[in-house]
Amino acid sequence: MGRTHAKRASIAALLSSAAFAFGVPACAQTGTEGVLEDIVVTAQRTETNLQKTPIAITALSAETLQKADIRSVVDLDRHVPGMIVQSGGAFPLNVTIRGIGYDGLQNNSSQPGVAFVENGVYIASPINLTSSFLDLAQMEVLRGPQGTVNGQNADGGAINATTRLATLDGLHGEGEASYGSYEYNRQRGAANIPIADTLAARFALQHEGHEGWLRAPNQMDGRSGTQDTWSVRGSLLWQPVERFSITLWGEYFDLDANGPSVRNLLDPIGDVRATGNDSYLPQKTRSRIVAGTLKYDFDFATLKAISSYQSARANAPNSGDMLARADALAIYGVKDEEPIYVRSAKSYTEEINLAHSGGPVDWIIGGFFLRTDEYQHLYETQQTSAVPIPVTPILFPTPAEQGALFGQGLAFVSVADARRTSYAAYGQATWHASEQVRLTGGLRWSSDKYNSNTSVFFNPAVPLESKFKKLTGKAVVEYEPLTGKTVYASFATGVKPGGTNLNPGALNVPTGFAHEFVRAYELGLKSEFADRKVRLNLSAFYNDYRNYQAPSEDTLPFHGGQTNIPKSYIYGIEAEGSVILPAGFRINATAAWMKSRVDADFFVLDPQKSFLIDRANGGPFQGLDIPQRAAAFQNVNGNELPRVPRFTASASLEKSTDIAGAGVLDLHIDGSYRSRYKARLFNNPLVDNVGTYFVANFNARFQPEKGAWYVEFQVTNLTNSDDVASRFPDNFELGAVYDFIAPPRQFIGRVGVKF
């Protein structure tokens, strides 16, 4: 695809010569000379050492995030074993860990399978995940169900982000400016400001923008995917006495783009970095979070009360075909556009927990509350004319106006208001039975209720409901035969809420889909040896899923949605570690091997097949299409689950050189590889076979011996790989398939200062 095998292998050979299957890409600098650093994580809502936490965790420091060009969630999968982040264009990101993610991107009620937590606050809407990373201290990715302290929406795993907040340790800060190819520019700064002995504030600001990665000859500026973002965070710490503190923080994020950075798989333009789309798609995403943590340290335990208000809104007009009109008519028979696609959510969360550490038993108990009010408005047209027909959507049209709208090509319209209310209570304890043996047990009771009032094709709103109550938990046995070497075995369960579909009147696909449930078994090893110069962490897992949530079309056109696969499983092996070598060299790497299967008879209808049937019969609702659609349902027993690559690996080689009398030069090169995988449960060879992916980056940083400034030079995507980073097949009537291509090679210069 525009790059020779030898070109790819040149970087791969360099990386593979440095590492084979170990390395945690976590990693701050070496803690003491020649010794691997201790990494503290908050995966269990308390601070623990990574090597003594019986969870498969990838921890990434702020320094590593910058060196590896990880600017947002979409970049994380290059450094987390078995993780895939799928860009859905106008739809939210789909984060998948160990094969479990978010197949209901086009359904407002569907929930992610990977929870996102920021500074202890559960982030309720997947729209918020679009935000750029700002002033991070550490990022932790927890693999496998986290059904105790993180709860629902974590049957695949969790992402735990810790940002830098206000501290009482004096005045300090930093500033930085970056400029590079494709008009890339980023300016960011942060400052911690003491106000009084007991009061401090911290402010962080970032602006980031770039020209679109895709050439777009049918767009006014000739590019698609151009982005401009602003991120702001402010925090305030008041600590009148040592044992009591209140931390408040607020976050503001705006993204403006001239369309998504995706192209139709069938686009006749030969250049994979080009799109023929001629629909003007100005897209805006807004995210606001205000949160606070009250902390009181009793003599026996620490109490935390964490509150938040969150709002998210995506105004993302979309094109269902992402093609030039003539090409869309030739391929699909219609030009599909969504001039209105609005999603919004307002959420309130409250969590209270009490935690104790030290002594023979560490424990935590807590309660959680979530309320989210959601709104979705979708208006879709499918025109068959070679010349565009002006569209004037009306939210509440009269019968006469409805006729005019259908004359403009109206194909589907829905308006939905919904509310989700969740409660949970949890507890977890670790008993240090001896110096070598630790036993952990935990339970979480969750109650979730989702109510939706959905109007389709201007009909009266239909009330829909989905609810469940579930007990999840975990049990872990740890054994530390030697210092620095721990083996563990765990059993955990997790749950993902169900929801409702926008399909009143469907014949096969239910109007409501059930919650997803997993039983997960894991064996792990966490070890350090060679005088703490080598770290090797291994995990083997088997996840048994019930009611796996998956999409299906319906016999009746435009009535598809989410449904439940009775039984499926995923298993695999993961490896992480680090090696410190002489002369300032360091190696970090990861590897994962996975396999999946649907393990029960279940019949679904592939949107790709339903579209071909409708097209052959002159369009939907044309008589023969309905019985033919009914006959096209397929049994998916034995199919692979989507986004489960057989093998993934990443590696980095670092070299730190002390230049006498000048300063320190740090060099970093990394690469990541992903094998082929299936994009959807249908395993359609024409659509679902996503090819291999490889990308590498280089970073050089010079810090002078005297002075607080530094300079960096970065090359992202060294080989200019044009592999498919992710693929998103439309789950509904048109059945278009969109590819997100690896961003092109960029040369970026950076200068910064710390004080």
The pLDDT tens digits for 438-477 are 999 999 999 999 998 988 888 888 888 889 899 999 999 9
pLDDT at 503: 79
The neighbour count for residue 686, using CB atoms within 10 Å, is: 9
Q: To the nearest whole percent, how much of the chain has pLDDT over 70?
A: 95
Using DSSP's 3-state secondary structure scheme, residue 74 falls into: helix
Tokens standing for residue 51: 């090597």
Tokens standing for residue 271: 């250049």
Say which amino acid occupies 525. Answer: L
Mean pLDDT of 74-93: 85
Mean pLDDT of 629-654: 96
pLDDT in tens, 16-46: 333 333 333 333 344 445 788 889 998 888 8
Q: Cα separation of 551 and 547, whole Å?
A: 12
Backbone angles phi, psi at 186, to 5 degrees: -145, 130
pLDDT in tens, 489-548: 999 999 999 988 877 788 999 988 999 999 999 999 999 999 999 999 999 999 999 999
pLDDT in tens, 296-312: 999 999 999 999 999 99
pLDDT at 33: 58
Closest CA to 105 of 121, 94, 120, 119: 94
Domain 5-754 has CATH 3.40.50.300: no
Q: How confident is the model at residue 2 (pLDDT cuts 50, 70, 90)?
A: very low
pTM (two decimals): 0.91
The neighbour count for residue 665, using CB atoms within 10 Å, is: 15
Top pLDDT among 702 and 221 is at: 702
Q: Cα separation of 495 and 479, whole Å?
A: 28
Backbone angles phi, psi at 640, to 5 degrees: -80, 150
Q: Cα separation of 130 and 89, whole Å?
A: 11
Q: Does the pLDDT at position 727 exceed 80?
A: yes
Q: Cα separation of 707 and 502, whole Å?
A: 60
Q: How far is CA 36 from the centre of its chain?
A: 29
Using DSSP's 3-state secondary structure scheme, residue 62 falls into: helix
Q: How confident is the model at residue 86 (pLDDT cuts 50, 70, 90)?
A: confident
Residues 6+ apart with CB under 8 A from 73: 85, 93, 95, 116, 129, 159
Q: Does the pLDDT at position 1 exceed 50?
A: no
Q: Which strands, in side-by-side order, build the sheet including 724-729?
A: 263-264, 737-741, 724-729
The DSSP bridge pattern shows strands 157-163 and 114-118 to be parallel
Q: Cα separation of 203 and 166, whole Å?
A: 8
Top pLDDT among 239 and 395 is at: 239
pLDDT averaged over every residue in the chain: 90
Closest CA to 376 of 108, 106, 732: 108
Tokens standing for residue 653: 């080689």
Identify the bridge partners of residue 365 per DSSP, sorted by sequence position.
354, 427
For 235-239, 495-499, 585-589, 692-696, which range has the lowest pLDDT when averaged over its residues? 495-499
Q: How confident is the model at residue 266 (pLDDT cuts 50, 70, 90)?
A: very high
Biggest alpha carbon–alpha carbon distance for the chain: 83
For 382-386, 624-628, 642-646, which range has the lowest pLDDT when averaged over its residues? 624-628
Q: How confident is the model at residue 328 (pLDDT cuts 50, 70, 90)?
A: very high
Mean pLDDT of 367-393: 94
Locate tokens 């949107």: which residue? 607
Q: Does the pLDDT at position 13 exceed 60?
A: no
Backbone angles phi, psi at 56, to 5 degrees: -75, 110
533 and 35 Cβ atoms separated by less than 8 Å = yes
pLDDT in tens, 51-71: 989 999 999 998 888 888 888
Rg (CA), the chain: 26
pLDDT at 733: 61
